[in-house]
Amino acid sequence: MKQIILNFPQQFAIGAKAAEDIKLAGPFDNIIICGVGGSALPGTLLLDIADVSIPVLVHRDYGLPKIASEKSLIICISFSGNTEETLSAYEEAVSKGYPVIALSTGGKLEELAKQNNLPVVIVPNDCLQPRFGTGYLASSVIKILDNCKITDNLSQEILEIADNLKPENLEARGKTLGEKLLNKVPVVYSSNQYKSVSLIWKIKFNENSKIMAFWNFFPELNHNEMVGLTNIKSQIANCKYYFIILRDNQDDPRIIKRMEITANLIKESGGEVEIIEMQGATKIEKIFNALLLGDWASYYLALSYGQDPVPVAIVEKFKKQL
């Protein structure tokens, strides 16, 4: 996993190249990204990365959502190519004649696409797990949107920021954060515009570190979740929480004020909190730098627990029982 993190910036060019000639004729009324788990992360990121003029829906379920139609651009993502929820979405799209593109490393999804003579993007499977291949998948999706004239050369911007990403420069900081999180439950917060990042941090703690973790975003959390601080001292006796607030200095000043007040309330309630400033020249760069930091923190936390961060044995056990 360590080498995968260090090689992460290289994924963007490879993913974009894989989708170089993939497109469908529009115009489209909406975009539907079908996928679950790590395969859904590109759709989650797309909501925060791209300025898209039509609605984007990330569908994490069987079949297709009700808004799907012949005017939808449907992208079905399954890293393995064998995810049953995504396969059911793809098969429904094909049966109804809806515009659909498959994105995978192979498997049954590739087979179905070729059988039906429909466009398919194949990315490398050298990163072991779908959550480690977000660069491949996200850059492929963005290249597809460029090709379909939905975004304007966004894939080039992604390739340019890849040169600025230096995972090795974030390792020490991530290791320190991972050490602080030992025997604690991470709770990750961000502004609404970065909620994909806080969600993915939560997922990485789940899958890499093999622990429970939670996430939310401002200002919503100030209207409900924050009330849980009222009785947190009794909870701390059994479960220690560590709050992480991801802050961009370009966030709305009103949101930054909320973050600072919330951090103080957490401290007053007896909880631990750390505000992490997001680093980068652009929003996209800040997003991927933050994701890399989360990778390092969850990686070193896994090692502290004596866990191999790569496999997800309980998921495989569940699939077999299913």
Q: No. of H helices and E strands in the chain?
A: 13, 9
**pLDDT, position 51:** 85
pLDDT digit string, tens, across residues 24-82 = 998 999 999 999 999 999 999 998 998 898 999 999 999 999 999 999 999 999 999 99
Mean pLDDT of 237-257: 93
Please say if the pLDDT value at position 256 is more than 80.
yes
Please say if the pLDDT value at position 235 is more than 90.
no
pLDDT digit string, tens, across residues 190-209 = 999 999 999 999 999 999 99
- As a whole number, the mean pLDDT across the chain is 95
Helices (H), the chain: 2-7, 11-18, 41-49, 84-96, 107-115, 134-147, 154-162, 167-180, 195-207, 232-236, 253-268, 283-304, 313-321
- Side by side, the strands of the sheet bearing 185-191 are 214-218, 185-191, 241-247, 272-277
pLDDT digit string, tens, across residues 266-281 = 999 988 999 999 999 9
**pLDDT, position 231:** 84
Mean pLDDT of 297-319: 95
Structure tokens belonging to residue 136: 């491949």
Q: Is 233 a catalytic residue?
A: no
Note the pTM of the prediction, 2 decimals: 0.95
Q: Is 59 a catalytic residue?
A: no
Question: pLDDT band at 237, cuts 50/70/90?
Answer: low
Residue 300's beta-bridge partner residues?
none
Burial of 178 (0-12, 13-18, 19+ CB in 10 A): buried
pLDDT digit string, tens, across residues 79-102 = 999 999 999 999 999 999 999 999
Question: pLDDT band at 234, cuts 50/70/90?
Answer: confident
Catalytic site residue from 110, 171, 207, 285: 207
**pLDDT, position 280:** 96
- Distance from C-alpha of 10 to C-alpha of 142, rounded to nearest angstrom: 16
Domains within the chain, CATH numbers bracketed: 2-162 (3.40.50.10490), 167-304 (3.40.50.10490)
Work out the angle at residue 134's Cα, subtended by the Cα atoms of residues 130 and 140, and round it to the nearest 5 degrees. 110
Q: Is 223 a catalytic residue?
A: yes
Residues 6+ apart with CB under 8 A from 320: none
**pLDDT, position 236:** 62
How many C-beta atoms surround the C-beta of residue 57 within 10 A? 17
pLDDT digit string, tens, across residues 137-169 = 999 999 999 999 999 999 999 999 999 999 999
**pLDDT, position 321:** 95
User: 137: closest CA among 195, 65, 79, 84?
Assistant: 79
168, 145 Cβ separation under 8 angstroms: no
pLDDT digit string, tens, across residues 97-142 = 999 999 999 999 999 999 999 999 999 999 889 999 999 999 999 9
